[in-house]
Amino acid sequence: MTNNLFKKYGPWAVVTGASSGIGKEFARVLAEKGFSLVLVARRKNRLDELAAELHKEHKTKTLVLTSDLSEINAPQRIYEATKCLDVGLLINNAGVERHGTFLESNIDSEEQLMRINMNAPMQLSHLFGKDMTDKGRGGVLFTSSIVATQGVGYFGNYSASKAYILSLGEALNFEFKERGVDVSVVLPGPTHTEMITNAADELDMSNLPMKFLTARRVAEESLRGLGRFTSIIPGKRNRVITFFGRHFFSRSLMSKQMGEMFKVSVSKASTSV
């Protein structure tokens, strides 16, 4: 990882979804680099535990903000709570995943997914992006997903929300760059996280061609790529598979293949429970 991460984006970083998974590892890596951290998630007890861990190991200054990003005014409240801090890095990591047959899904849950996965990072980037571009320095990192590159059956709304994040990040990379602010989008493949563990009874992912990575590796590779690449795909194997999928096959064919693969994953899990 570049040694100038703190120099470019410090002293404060905001990390959403910091209570577990990739977000938690983002916080740990940034603490090791000397950042002070605003930790955002719904579960205060987990944020407090992480804040205590980081202070003990790195003397990290932290601000814990308990927030449900599905609430309309949550991004504005986060911004207002951090106005006195010199925030140079925004990690838009929080997200939720829904899978299964679209017509059997709960529409309220799908709308909540859209507020968390799309509206919240868009609003936070608008709020913090203004301050960063005014100062002529800063960084924004979005967490999308490998499924953002085409529609994916049984993950329809989720993959669509991550496609929005990929498109938004690519656009802001162009707009913000000329004003001194770096924007990148990370597209993780399968990752060992609490989200995956919780879905194990409903989704068999053993047939996926991509390699599972640790959340720590995803966080490290993402931060290494910030400012160097518009989109970042952690894991060499995952990059190769995605490259061939995007450049040698049509979107419709990839969508069909991914849908067939996850159809099997859903049905295998259902019959094994």
Residues 239-245, mean pLDDT to the nearest whole number: 67
What mean pLDDT, rounded, does the chain reach? 88
Nearest to 17 by CA among 165, 200, 168, 209: 165
What are the angstrom distances between the C-alpha of 73 and each of 44, 67, 77?
19, 10, 6
Per the annotation, the verdict on 162 as an active-site residue is: yes
Check pLDDT > 70 for residue 142: yes
Q: Which of 162, 236, 256, 263 is catalytic?
A: 162
Q: Report the 10 Å Cβ neighbour count for 89.
A: 28
User: What's residue 15's pLDDT?
Assistant: 98
Nearest to 35 by CA among 104, 107, 87: 87
What are the angstrom distances between the C-alpha of 39 and each of 35, 214, 240, 242?
12, 21, 33, 31
Q: Which of 44, 158, 164, 236 is catalytic?
A: 158
Domains of the chain (ranges plus CATH)?
5-272 (3.40.50.720)
Q: 144-203 pLDDT, tens per residue?
A: 999 998 888 888 999 999 999 999 999 999 999 999 999 999 999 888 776 655 554 565
User: What's residue 190's pLDDT?
Assistant: 87
* One-letter amino acid of 171: A
Nearest to 145 by CA among 82, 95, 206: 95
Check pLDDT > 50 for residue 271: no
User: What's residue 251's pLDDT?
Assistant: 66
**β-bridge partners, 64:** 39
Three-state secondary-structure class, residue 40 = strand
Q: 49-89 pLDDT, tens per residue?
A: 999 999 999 999 999 999 999 999 999 999 999 999 999 99
Task: Tell me the helix, strand and coil percentages in the chain, rounded to 5.
Answer: 55, 15, 30
Q: For the full predicted model, state whether its pTM sits above 0.85.
A: yes
Per the annotation, the verdict on 158 as an active-site residue is: yes
| Whole-number Å distance between alpha carbons of 197 and 1 | 28
Q: 96-128 pLDDT, tens per residue?
A: 998 888 999 999 999 999 999 999 999 999 999
